[in-house]
């Protein structure tokens, strides 16, 4: 009775979270319970809970990468962060600066050897380890092969060819666009700029340089601006009911995206399972297409509350390097970050969306091995993303150019960093 | 008066005041719970917000990239917010939205209330419930629902226009975003406001209507000359609610934002504040924005009440 009254009082005053965190977590016969935030990953967590007796995971889906990082920051500032969280690579520096992530350098054990150095670099800086990579997102050209064949389109190997294909698609079916350029496609656009040689952030001896509006990135912006003006690609939000509907009708043909893309598309267009395929991302230069593969998305597992750090690291290691977890991950269409997981892809069937594609994992491996190294994200990517989408939106409506949108983003990001007190080159 | 003074200077407290103490304590005991809640959930948070708004997130040494911590920055957050064009254009958008939503909401609410109050009205209970029902739908769900009805490929309206050989209706493009958003507020808000006005109408003594009818007053005149002037206080109240509600618009544009490029992340002041506080991890900046918004809301409400009271209750001093 009294407990019920207290619970009600708690609900009334909004301290249920506090009560819950006192009530749950550890204690009972040596079993450690970890609160874990991540989008998806349900099957892996079930497998972990079924195979472990001393650690149990309490899984919460706190929304996708962006939402989740915002909630994590807030929970961490309020002092009630979960024990373990998924975070996207691009948000890690900002989370480190806000002290939302626990450094696990001393607990990492042999984990660094189980990843490619370039991959490991995504979660550790100057030898300080802040997380363990889950999957990587080398970019590929994900396209609706059935519709491409139907319209007689070839798969582009360079971006110039892509422009021709976009024009052909518009000619052959006026309702169709080869792709949509989204306003919130910060990570994707950063990837395309990086592919051309752009560096959006660099840090040396604590001194930052922001290159969102460097010459290369502006050229990339001008290329897409031209396609928008000629109405060859559609500008607008993606993964909305509207866009999903168009995609299901076969009016959106492709998506340059990280190799995690098939899982996302399968989630909204199950009926097109088997119709899709991946190809190397078109390149900027002549010759070997995709020789430089940029990176988009992918995420890491991090410890976000340090009072059960050993158990948390054990769970993270299992999730990212164990055979069972990697098999489940590959089945979901993710490309594992760990070397052992990558080796396992060879024997796996392709993800359902690209179910008919024999060489799916070959192409994914090719993209992964040709990924550009040294990707550095800035300490205020959240701000950059937000400014970018606000600046790009009018550009997609034809009220501004993408080139100006990038300049605006650069200015806002530099101002924001300067105000916070980062050492920054103008 | 004079007695008061002599009592006050009469030195140490006499036995009389001691006898009075229980009586003076009673109101405080009775006010206690309310005061405690007021302190805990309003006064202290307000003071804390004021304190926070004078702090700033700045980089201090530590970690790989440095860490952001709270330091005292005085009025820097206010300066930055007040000189931020994006913050002010949010108020501009609110003005447009409010000019569409508020008069229509109140007008329709009054209209429905008068219709319900009409002697010949049928199925009163049912109509009242039907008009009120949308208010029970949470704003976010209402926005999603309407969002689907606005998006060209899922919209039943656009389906019809396309069947007629016309284009889809661009609900979420250009300036159409304002009426589209106002419509969501209208759909949800009319019922609630109608209920307030209707309640006020029911409390008018029927003798007044009898007298008016005796004097040859038609139903139209009855509505215009008697009912409307008598429910002015209710209109004032609903007007104030709508105004404050307008300044606090957040849920609808935030929910529709992913569906259209028209709504930026700082589209209305509250979205701007949310972005500062949670996306940019800068609660002090959000606190400063909130203080500015609160003071503005307070000032506008006060102004409206002053002006309207004089007009509505003029002469009743």
User: Which residue has tokens 């009242």?
Assistant: B128
What is the model's pTM?
0.84
For B306, other C-beta atoms within 10 Å of its C-beta total: 10
For residue B19, what pLDDT is reported?
53
State mean pLDDT over B75-87. Answer: 94
- Touching check for B44 and chain A: CB below 8 Å? no
Q: How far is A182 from chain B (nearest CA, A)?
A: 9
For residue A241, what pLDDT is reported?
84
Helix, strand, or coil here: A90? helix
- Touching check for B66 and chain A: CB below 8 Å? yes
Instruction: Look at A90-99, B13-22, B293-302 and tell me which has the smallest mean pLDDT.
Output: B13-22
For A175, other C-beta atoms within 10 Å of its C-beta total: 9
The Cα A374–Cα A368 span in angstroms is: 14
The Cα A305–Cα A316 span in angstroms is: 13
Segments in A78-151 forming alpha helices (H)? 92-97, 117-120, 145-150
For residue B28, what pLDDT is reported?
87
User: pLDDT tens, B193-203?
Assistant: 999 999 999 99
Nearest alpha carbon to residue A180 among A100, A265, A95: A265
Which residues are CB-contacts of B297 (< 8 A; sequence separation ≥ 6)? Answer: B244, B247, B248
For residue A293, what pLDDT is reported?
83
State the Cα angle at B96 between B92 and B102, rounded to 5°: 125
CB pairs under 8 A between A and B: 96
Strands A299-303 and A84-88: antiparallel
Strands A84-88 and A32-37: parallel
Strands A234-235 and A180-181: parallel
For residue A15, what pLDDT is reported?
41
Residue of chain A whose alpha carbon sits nearest to that of B264:
A390
- Touching check for B177 and chain A: CB below 8 Å? no
- Touching check for B28 and chain A: CB below 8 Å? no
The Cα A384–Cα A391 span in angstroms is: 10
All residues of chain A having their beta carbon less than 8 Å from the beta carbon of residue B154 are 241-242, 245
User: pLDDT tens, B108-141?
Assistant: 999 999 998 887 777 888 888 888 899 999 989 9
Percent residues over pLDDT 90 in chain B = 56
Residue B270 has pLDDT above 70, yes or no: yes
Contact A175, A251 (CB under 8 A): yes
Q: State chain A's maximal CA–CA distance in angstroms.
A: 75
State mean pLDDT over B175-188. Answer: 94
Identity of the residue in A386, A397, A421 whose CB atom sits nearest the CB atom of B59:
A421
Q: Do B58 and A420 touch (CB under 8 A)?
A: yes
Q: Rounded to whole angstroms, what are the CA distances from A283 to A198, A292, A294, B204? A: 14, 7, 10, 77
Residue B238's H or E segment, with its range, is: helix B232-247
For B13, other C-beta atoms within 10 Å of its C-beta total: 10
Q: How far is A81 from chain B (nearest CA, A)?
A: 15
Q: How far is A350 from chain B (nearest CA, A)?
A: 31
Residue of chain B whose alpha carbon sits nearest to that of A182:
B261
Ordered per-residue pLDDT tens for chain A, 426 residues: 444 444 444 444 444 444 444 444 444 568 999 999 998 888 999 999 999 999 999 999 988 878 889 999 999 999 999 999 999 999 999 999 999 999 999 999 899 999 988 889 899 988 899 999 999 989 999 999 999 999 999 999 999 999 999 999 999 999 999 999 999 889 999 999 999 989 999 988 889 999 999 999 999 999 999 999 999 999 999 998 889 999 999 999 999 999 989 989 999 999 999 999 999 999 987 655 446 788 888 899 999 988 899 999 999 999 999 999 999 988 887 899 999 999 998 888 898 999 899 999 999 988 888 888 778 899 999 999 999 999 999 999 889 999 999 999 999 999 999 999 999 987
For residue B299, what pLDDT is reported?
92
User: Strands, DSSP E only, in B152-195?
Assistant: none
For residue A13, what pLDDT is reported?
45
For A208, other C-beta atoms within 10 Å of its C-beta total: 21
DSSP secondary structure string, A183-219?
TT-HHHHHHHHHHTT--SEEEETTEEEE-TTSHHHHH
Identity of the residue in A98, A125, A389 whose CB atom sits nearest the CB atom of B68:
A98
Q: How far is B280 from chain A (nearest CA, A)?
A: 6
- For residue A280, list its beta bridge partners: A140
Question: For the CA atoms of chain A, what is the radius of gyration?
Answer: 22
Per DSSP, B267 falls in state S
Helix, strand, or coil here: B177? helix
């Amino acid at each position: 009775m009294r407990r019920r009254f207290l619970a009600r009082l708690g609900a009334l005053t909004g301290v249920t979270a506090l009560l819950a965190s006192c009530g749950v977590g550890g204690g009972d016969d040596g079993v450690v319970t970890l609160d874990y935030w991540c989008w998806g990953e349900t099957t892996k967590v079930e497998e972990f809970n079924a195979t472990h007796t001393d650690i149990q995971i309490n899984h919460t889906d706190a929304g996708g990468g962006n939402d989740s990082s915002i909630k994590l920051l807030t929970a961490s500032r309020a002092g009630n962060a979960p024990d373990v969280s998924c975070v996207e690579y691009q948000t890690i520096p900002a989370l480190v600066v806000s002290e939302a992530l626990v450094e696990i350098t001393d607990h990492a054990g042999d984990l660094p050897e189980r990843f490619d150095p370039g991959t490991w670099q995504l979660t550790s800086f100057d030898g300080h380890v802040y997380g363990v990579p889950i999957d990587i997102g080398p970019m590929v050209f994900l396209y609706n092969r059935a519709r491409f064949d139907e319209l007689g389109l070839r798969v582009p190997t360079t971006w110039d060819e892509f422009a021709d294909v976009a024009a052909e698609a518009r000619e052959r079916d006026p309702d169709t666009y080869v792709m949509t350029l989204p306003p919130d496609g910060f990570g994707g656009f950063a990837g395309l700029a990086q592919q051309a040689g752009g560096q959006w952030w660099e840090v040396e001896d604590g001194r930052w340089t922001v290159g969102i509006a460097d010459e290369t990135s502006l050229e990339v912006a001008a290329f897409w601006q031209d396609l928008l003006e000629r109405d060859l690609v559609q500008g607008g939000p993606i993964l909305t009911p509207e866009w999903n509907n168009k995609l299901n009708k076969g009016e959106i043909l492709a998506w340059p995206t990280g190799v995690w893309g098939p899982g996302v598309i399968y989630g909204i267009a199950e009926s097109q399972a088997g119709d899709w395929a991946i190809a190397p991302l078109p390149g900027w230069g002549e010759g070997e297409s995709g020789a430089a593969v940029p990176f988009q998305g992918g995420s890491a597992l991090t410890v976000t509350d340090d009072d059960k750090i050993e158990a948390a690291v054990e769970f993270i290691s299992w999730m990212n390097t164990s055979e069972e977890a990697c098999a489940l991950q590959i089945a979901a269409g993710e490309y594992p970050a760990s070397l052992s997981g990558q080796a396992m892809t060879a024997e796996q069937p392709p993800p359902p969306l690209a179910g008919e594609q024999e060489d799916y994992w070959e192409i994914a491996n090719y993209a992964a091995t040709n990924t550009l190294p040294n990707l550095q994200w800035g300490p205020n990517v959240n701000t950059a993303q937000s400014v970018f989408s606000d600046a790009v939106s009018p550009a997609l409506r034809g009220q501004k150019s993408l080139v100006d949108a990038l300049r605006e983003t650069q200015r806002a990001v530099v101002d924001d960093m300067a105000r916070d007190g980062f050492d920054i080159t103008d | 008066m004079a007695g008061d003074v002599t009592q006050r200077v009469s030195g140490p407290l006499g036995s009389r005041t001691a006898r009075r103490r229980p009586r003076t304590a009673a109101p405080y005991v009775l006010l206690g719970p309310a005061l405690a809640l007021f302190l805990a959930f309003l006064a202290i948070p307000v003071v804390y917000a004021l304190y926070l708004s004078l702090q700033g997130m700045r980089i201090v040494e530590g970690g790989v990239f440095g860490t952001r911590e709270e330091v005292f920055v005085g009025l820097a957050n206010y300066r930055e917010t007040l000189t931020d064009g994006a913050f002010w254009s949010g108020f501009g958008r609110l003005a447009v939205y409010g000019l569409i939503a508020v008069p229509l909401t109140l007008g329709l609410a009054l209209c429905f209330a008068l219709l319900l109050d009409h002697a010949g009205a049928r199925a009163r209970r049912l109509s009242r419930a039907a008009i009120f029902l949308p208010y029970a739908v949470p704003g976010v769900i209402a926005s999603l629902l309407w969002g689907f009805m606005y998006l060209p490929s899922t919209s039943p309206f656009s389906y019809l226009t396309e069947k007629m050989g016309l284009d889809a209706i661009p609900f979420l493009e250009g300036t159409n975003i304002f009426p589209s958003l106002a419509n969501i507020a209208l759909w949800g808000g009319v019922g609630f406001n109608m209920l307030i006005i209707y309640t006020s109408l029911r409390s008018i003594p029927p003798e007044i209507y009898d007298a008016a009818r005796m004097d040859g007053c038609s139903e139209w005149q009855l509505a215009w000359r008697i009912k409307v002037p008598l429910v002015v206080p209710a209109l004032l109240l609903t007007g104030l609610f709508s105004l404050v509600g307008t300044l606090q618009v957040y849920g609808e544009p935030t929910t529709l934002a992913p569906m259209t490029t028209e709504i930026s992340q700082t589209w209305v002041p509250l979205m701007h504040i949310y972005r500062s506080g949670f996306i940019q991890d800068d609660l002090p900046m959000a606190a400063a924005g909130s203080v500015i918004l609160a003071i503005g809301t307070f000032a506008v409400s006060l102004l409206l009440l002053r002006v309207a009271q004089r007009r509505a209750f003029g002469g009743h001093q």
